Amino acid sequence: MQDDPRKHPTRHARQRQYRLLAELEAAFDTIIDRIEALVHHYREKNRVLSREQGPEKRADAWALHHPTPDADWLRSALLDFWYQDGQDGRVTRSYIGLIAADARMLEQVAEVNQAKDAFARILSEIREHAADLIPEIKAILPFRHPTLHAHLIGQGLARLHLKQCWRSLPVANAPLSRVRLAWYSSGRSIKRLSVREAETKLLALDVDAPHIRIQLKQLAGIPDGEPLAQVQKQAPLMRANLFFSEPLADGRERRAMNVALPLFIPSADGRLPHHNAPLPSPQEKRTRAKRSDERLEDTPFLPSLRVYRYR
C-alpha cells in the first residue's frame, strides 16, 4: 500500500524547503556579518577620535534612553532579534537614536539594508510555500552564531523575532539642518467591513453571551449595504521630521519618517544637526485636536469587534 501523498511532501517540495532554508540561513549570516562590520567601523571611529582628541571624545550621536550611545549600545540595538517573555508577536522594541554617519558608514548601512531585504524576500517565499518551517527557523538560526546564542541563553530568551531581523535601518536622504522628534500615539488602522462580514465575526464569538446577542440584534437593525469600519489602535511610535540643508532634486525641503532604530544622518564634519530631546515615553492622553472631518462615530457600534458606523 502506498503512503498518502498528502501526508508526505514530494521530493520536489522537500528540495525546495531545503533550498529556501539554506538561502535564509545564508541571508541571516550576511545580516549579522554586515552589522558587525558597521559596528566595527563605528568603534574604530570612536577609538581614533579618543586617541586624537581626548578619552571622552566619540563620534557625535544621541540616544533617547542611553547617555553614551557607543559601539556596544549600537551593537545591542542592531542585533536585538529576540522575543522577550510575554511579548506580543506584532510588537517590536525600539531603539531611538541619531548617528552622524560618514560616507563609509552610509555605505555599510545600505549594505545591511540590502541584506535585510533579501532575508525578507526569502522569508516571504517560505511563508507562502513552506510555512511549517517557521518554528524551526526561529529555533535554529541563533545557533549559527555562538556569541548571539550565548546572549540568547543568558537573557533567558527563547526564539527569534523575525520582524526585528528584517526591519530596515532608517537613513536620511541627504545632510540635515535639523531634526524634530515627536511621539505619535494616535495612529490607527481602519478596515472596511460589510454587515455580513461583521455578523460572521460576531457569530464566531460566544453567541450565548448577552452582550453578543445585543450586538447581533443591533446589526440586524441596519441596512445590509451599509459599510462599517473595524478600527485597530496602533502602538505609539517615534516620528522624525527631517529638514534638509539643501532642497532635494525633486524640490522637497523636508521629510517625515517613522524611526524604530537609530537614524543615520549624512555628516561631512562628523556632527549631528540640531535636534530636540523628546519625552522618554509617549503621553497617555491625546494632545492633538480631534479632526473636524472625522468620519466615524465617537462610540463603537459593535464593541466586541471595535466596529464603528460612519457618520
**pTM for the model:** 0.74
- 295 grid coordinates: 468620519
- For 173, 175, 178, 180, 256, the CA distances from 247, given in Å and listed in that order, are 11, 10, 13, 17, 15
Q: 190 has which bridge partners?
A: 231
Residues of the chain with CATH 3.30.54: 188-233+293-309
Phi, psi dihedral angles at 37 (to 5 degrees) = -65, -40
Strand order in the sheet with 61-63: 61-63, 97-101, 263-266
* pLDDT tens sequence for the chain (311 residues): 444 444 456 777 778 888 888 888 889 889 999 999 999 999 998 888 777 776 666 679 999 988 889 999 999 899 888 766 555 555 678 899 999 999 999 999 999 999 999 999 998 888 888 888 888 777 777 666 655 555 444 444 446 777 888 899 999 999 999 999 999 876 667 888 888 988 888 888 887 888 888 888 888 888 888 899 888 776 778 999 999 999 998 999 999 999 999 999 999 888 999 999 888 888 765 544 444 335 888 888 888 888 898 87
Strand order in the sheet with 228-233: 188-193, 228-233, 307-309
Spatial distance between the Cα atoms of 99 and 171, rounded to a whole number of angstroms: 10
Domain 188-233+293-309 of CATH type 3.30.54:
yes
Residue 177's contacts (CB-CB under 8 Å, 6 or more residues apart) are: 243, 244, 245, 273, 274
